[in-house]
């Protein structure tokens, strides 16, 4: 697993790329090996995910009043949803890139997307903490969630533009492919697996 020093280097590279500096790519391993190692970002995200899942479980129990959903099976189902919603968009983006002239950039795209998920996972966890600590600020937290989503779209767009080149249509399609299927799948799978509150 990449050590914290390596993860910091990746985050610095992503920041430079977000700022429009192509030199940021040199801080990331954009090879096939780097692509495979980028899936370790899921392990680095575990603390943030657990916090989010705990909050989701609380919402579930308030709605359903079911104490039986407090065991490990509940978290395993949420982990399954998370894994599917992570991998499916990457598979779809692979299909999209196979149909274009940038198929060789697939490892770079996967690497960047995986490592970008890390800071946004912790940003989401921070919003969960605010929601839990100050229950009366649901409206404000909802606005922050929306702002975070817009930031994610903007970040993906800027960084993918560096990797894929100045191809607005391809970049826009890639961003939508990375975000929309996961959002749709998340609710469908949560309802199917019985972990959706409401």
- For residue 118, the model assigns a pLDDT of 95
Give per-residue burial for 153-190: e unless 16+ CB within 10 Å, then b.
eebbeebbbbbbeeeeebbeebbebbeebbeebeeebb
pTM of the predicted model as reported, rounded to 2 decimal places? 0.87
Is the pLDDT at 171 greater than 60, yes or no? yes
What is the spatial distance between Cα 23 and Cα 156, in angstroms, rounded to a whole number? 17
- pLDDT bin (cut points 50, 70, 90) of residue 1 is confident
Q: Tokens in use for 56?
A: 């989701």
- For residue 71, the model assigns a pLDDT of 66
pLDDT tens, 97-145?
A: 888 888 889 999 999 999 999 999 999 989 888 877 787 777 888 899 9
- For residue 33, the model assigns a pLDDT of 95
Q: Quick one: three-class SS letters along 4-49?
A: HHHHHHHHHHHHHHHCCCHHHHHHCCCCHHHHHHHHHHHHHCHHHH
Of 26-30, 55-59, 65-69, the poorest mean pLDDT is in 65-69
- For residue 197, the model assigns a pLDDT of 62
- pLDDT bin (cut points 50, 70, 90) of residue 53 is confident
């Amino acid at each position: 697993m990449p050590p914290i020093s390596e993860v910091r280097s990746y985050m610095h590279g992503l920041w430079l790329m977000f700022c429009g500096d192509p030199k940021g790519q040199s801080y990331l391993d954009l090879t096939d090996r780097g692509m495979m190692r980028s899936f370790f970002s899921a392990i680095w995200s575990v603390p943030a995910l657990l916090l989010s899942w705990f909050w989701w479980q609380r919402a579930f129990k308030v709605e359903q009043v079911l104490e039986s959903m407090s065991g490990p099976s509940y978290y395993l189902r949420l982990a399954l949803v998370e894994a599917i919603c992570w991998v499916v968009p990457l598979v779809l983006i692979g299909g999209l890139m196979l149909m274009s002239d940038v198929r060789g950039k697939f490892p770079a795209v996967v690497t960047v997307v995986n490592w970008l998920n890390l800071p946004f996972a912790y940003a989401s966890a921070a919003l969960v903490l605010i929601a839990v600590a100050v229950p009366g600020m649901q409206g404000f937290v909802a606005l922050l969630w929306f702002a975070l989503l817009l930031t994610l779209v903007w970040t993906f767009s800027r960084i993918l533009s560096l990797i894929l080149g100045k191809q607005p249509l391809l970049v826009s399609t890639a961003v939508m492919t990375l975000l929309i299927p996961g959002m749709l799948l998340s609710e469908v799978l949560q309802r199917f697996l019985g972990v959706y509150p409401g």
